[in-house]
Amino acid sequence: MLGYIARRLLLTIPTLLGVTFLVFAVVRLQPGDPAQEIAGQGATKEILESIRQELGLDRPFLIQYVDFMEKLFRGNLGRSLKTKEPVAPKVWNRFLNTLELTAVAMIIAILIGSVAGIISAIRPYSIWDNLSMLGALFGVSMPVFWQGIMLMLVFALWLEQWIGWGLPATGRGTLLHLILPALTLGTSSAAIIARMTRSTMLEILRQEYILTAHAKGASSGAVIFKHALRNALIPVVTVVGLTFGGLLSGAVLTETVFAWPGIGRLIVEEGILTRDYPIVQGAILMVALGFVLVNLLVDLLYAYIDPRIRYD
Amino acid sequence: MIDKTAVSLTEKASEGGLAQRKETLWRRLRKSPSAMLGLSIVLVFVTAGFLAPWIAPHDPLRPDFGRAREGPTWDSPLGRDELGRDILSRIIYGARISLWIGFIAVAIGVALGVPLGAVSGYYGRLDIFVQRVVDIMLAFPGLLLAIVLISILGVGLSNVMIAIGIASIPTYARLVRGSVLSLREMDYVTAARALGMSDRRIIFRHILPNCLAPIIVQSTLQVATAILFAAGLGFLGLGAKPPMPEWGVMLSTGRDYLRDWPHIATFPGLAIMLSVLGFNLLGDGLRDILDPRLRGKL
């Protein structure tokens, strides 16, 4: 196991270096003069010069990268071009908000997805199976931002009109604020988890050790939950890891719909659309690092649950 | 010296197999109701996109302020938007934009990802390097990679196509690499090599045609992803710009009128969902037929 962990950790290092390099290059790869690009057409020479100095654009490329990495290790992501505030604390706070949203969405996805998948697998081709797989198909195909808007319409706006009380539709605060965005964000992951649980459970229920369990007189509940589900969880863990990326992608859109103060909105609204590149760099770096770490954890967890992996 | 007859015989055999496979593919596709439903939905959108100027009942860009935000009527079955433009006509023209983005993005992904994966799988020495590059790209989850690329390329519709296409390269590279790794050990590849064929010929004539099945399946599903991503980027303000009848942009402006005129945001969203559903159903059906081992999996 230790050897596996070491190998997996070593493989992460080049990825992380590459990620930092790509993020670093985002500003430098701009066609034309990045300073001009950031400041806009009417900028004076002094402004352009100050931007170049701020970003270190007046020095050689590799020196800039080394400098960037050195600052990064000290937790310094530079300052916002617009507000002049340090980027790191802002990025960190917004990232925590996004994590809160994705964690709740993930819990919802695992609960709905595994229950639907198990029910489908126990009674394949029944009405429940067909219904939940149809639901899963719609769940995968529905644009997350549209679903968010529709949920907002029904459970916030219309509910308020009908009974005088609706779920909060925007912002972050109480637990109630989490319900609509987390449900929106979790749906497509729930759909993927449901399909995966179903197919794995179906495969496992055909195994001989399940037949043995039945033959020795175990109740069907015990067979499903003790013998089948525990083995079915192995691939589901991987899918949970994979859908985490989908959740982070979806978070950008969900946050925009529900005005959730997360990192996705930071990247788009305060970063790209206002050309505040230190913010874009810092926030994207944070998301990528988080994603790489989660994948690492999932891989290690996977190897822990399924010994066949680490001896491969 | 290369034995020309043997070479052409081997190649004829693999081409014959391909034609035969196409025929059985269609026969089996017809037996799957969900795949046929998917294909029908896709065909409806493709036809709508192609024939947009002839079948759209109104000009998608002409405002009619007197009829702004009007609900569905006989004249405008899906109602009018905030400027009084006909929503149905805008959705029909939007099909053009979304499908175009989907196909171009997939073409970019295939054109760059497939050779990359093939080379990576065939030549062990390049593999480590290519796989690290793929790892780096995969460190940015889905839409985020497209957003990173847009922040480099700049906001706009054509950049959206390029960004989504590049973002799908790692998927193709991994997929093809996996197939090539197992195919290069096959006896017929060894035979081709023994006959003195060049690596390029072996890769393009003997290995890649046999990777076609997973590539077709992935591409069908990838069109769905590309449509979703493009609409998402339009919604965020990073893709198409108003007044272009792009579904994501329409949804984004419709959001401001949600409380009193929900039809403005509802129908573009339904169009996105239906088209994505169509490609997903078709892709799932193709996978069941072409690669039964993956049935029911992701």
Q: Which of A114, A32, A24 is nearest to A61 (CA)?
A: A24
Say how many C-beta atoms besides its own lie within 10 A of residue B85's C-beta. 22
Alpha helices for B139-262 (secondary structure H): 143-153, 157-167, 169-183, 187-194, 199-201, 208-236, 247-254
- CB of A286 within 8 Å of any CB in chain B? no
Q: Is the pLDDT of residue A79 over 90?
A: no
> What confidence score (pLDDT) does residue A260 get?
93
What DSSP character marks residue B295? T
pLDDT score of A4 = 82
Residues found in chain A: 312
CB contact under 8 A, A157 and B258: yes
| Residue range B186-221, pLDDT digits in tens | 888 889 989 989 988 998 888 888 888 889 999 999
CA–CA distances in Å: residue B200 to residues A200, B115, B173, B184, B210 = 39, 11, 17, 13, 15
Low-confidence winner among A5-14, A56-65, A114-123, A130-139 (lowest mean pLDDT): A56-65
| Phi (first) and psi of residue B296, to 5 degrees | 80, -15
- Distance separating the N- and C-terminal Cα atoms of chain A: 11
- Cα distance between residue A169 and residue A163, in whole Å: 16
Q: Do A256 and B235 touch (CB under 8 A)?
A: yes
Pick from B197, B189, B139, B141: nearest CA to B1: B197
Separation CA A45–CA A36 (nearest Å) = 10
Yes or no, beta carbons of B151 and A14 under 8 Å apart: no
Residue A145 to residue B262, Cβ atoms within 8 A: no
As a whole number of angstroms, the distance between CA B192 and CA B198 comes to 9
What is the model's pTM? 0.88
- The pLDDT confidence band at residue A36, using thresholds 50, 70 and 90, is confident
Rg over alpha carbons for chain A, rounded to the nearest Å, is 24
Q: How far is CA A78 from CA A30, B84, B264, in A?
A: 19, 46, 42
Cα torsion B138, B140, B143, B149: sign:
negative
Angle between helices A229-258 and B143-153 (to 10 degrees): 40
Which residue in A205, A252, A277 has the most chain B C-beta atoms within 10 A of its own C-beta, making it the best mutation to test that interface? A252
Whole-number Å distance between alpha carbons of A219 and A226: 10
Q: With beta carbons less than 8 A apart as the criterion, state whether A304 and A257 touch.
A: no
Facing residue for A249 by CB, picked from B142, B269, B295? B142
Point out the residue among A15, A143, A272 whose CB comes nearest to the CB of B228.
A143
Cβ separation A246–B141 shorter than 8 A: yes
Q: Which amino acid is at B87?
A: I
Cross-chain residue pair B139–A284, CB shorter than 8 Å:
no
Residue to mutate among A249, A289, A292, A294, with most B CBs inside 10 A, is A249
Interface A–B counts its CB contacts (< 8 A) at 142
Chain A, residues 76-115, CB within 8 A of chain B, namely none
pLDDT digits (tens, 9 = 90+) for B51-88: 999 999 999 999 988 888 888 999 889 999 999 999 99
- Which residues 126-165 of A have a C-beta within 8 angstroms of B? 137-138, 140-146, 149-150, 152-153, 157
What is the ipTM, given to two decimal places?
Answer: 0.86
Alpha-carbon distance of B35 to A94, in angstroms, equals: 42
Q: What is the dihedral of CA B250, B230, B38, B108, to 10 degrees?
A: 150
B149: contact with A, CB 8 A cutoff: no
CB proximity list for A191: less than 8 A, separation 6 or greater? A113, A135, A136, A137, A138, A139, A140
Residues of chain B with pLDDT under 70: 1-22, 291-298
CA angle B247, B248, B251 (to 5 degrees): 85
Residue A104 · residue A177 · CB < 8 Å:
no
Chain-chain contact of B143 with A18 (C-beta, under 8 angstroms) = no
Residue A150 banded pLDDT, cuts 50, 70, 90: very high
- From A15, A26, A142, residue closest to B135, measured CB to CB: A15
DSSP at B255:
G
Q: A216 to chain B nearest CA, in Å?
A: 30
CB-CB contact of A150 with A233 (8 Å): no
**Which DSSP symbol is given to B140?**
S
Can you tell me the distance from the alpha carbon of B72 to that of B59, in angstroms, rounded to the nearest whole number?
A: 17
Establish if B150 touches chain A: CB-CB under 8 angstroms: yes
What is the percent of chain A where pLDDT is above 70?
Answer: 96
Write the burial class of residue A38 (CB in 10 Å: 0-12 exposed, 13-18 middle, 19+ buried). buried
What pLDDT is stored for residue B280 in this prediction?
A: 93
Give pLDDT, residue A303.
Answer: 77
| Mean of pLDDT values over A80-96 | 90
Average model confidence (pLDDT) across chain A: 86
The CA–CA distances, whole Å, from B295 to A27, A112, B276, B285, B289 equal 44, 22, 20, 9, 9
Contact flag B133-A18 (C-beta cutoff 8 Å): yes
Q: Which of A71, A180, A192 is nearest to A137 (CA)?
A: A192
Distance CA B188, CA A213 (A): 45
Contact A18 B135 (CB under 8 A): yes
Cβ-based neighbour number of residue B211 at 10 Å: 23
Across the interface, which of B141, B147, B148 has its CB nearest the CB of A245? B141
Partner-chain residue, chosen from B141, B259, B273, that has the shortest CB–CB distance to A248: B141
- Gap from B177 CA to chain A (nearest CA, Å): 19
Three-class SS of residue A60? coil
Chain B CB contacts of A288 under 8 Å are 139-140, 144
DSSP bridge pairs for A86: A79
Q: Which residues of A touch B150 (CB under 8 A)?
A: 272
List all residues of chain B from 268 to 297 with a beta carbon under 8 Å from chain A: 268-269, 272-273, 276-277, 280-281, 295-297
Q: What is the pLDDT of residue B5?
A: 59
Angle between helices B263-290 and A144-151 (to 10 degrees): 140
Could you say which residues from 166 to 205 on chain A have a Cβ atom under 8 Å away from some Cβ of chain B?
A: 192, 195-196, 198-199, 202
Does A26 contact B at CB distance below 8 Å? yes
Residues in chain B with CB shorter than 8 Å from the CB of A153 are: 258, 262
Report how far residue B232's alpha carbon sits from residue A144's, in angstroms, rounded to the nearest whole number.
Answer: 8
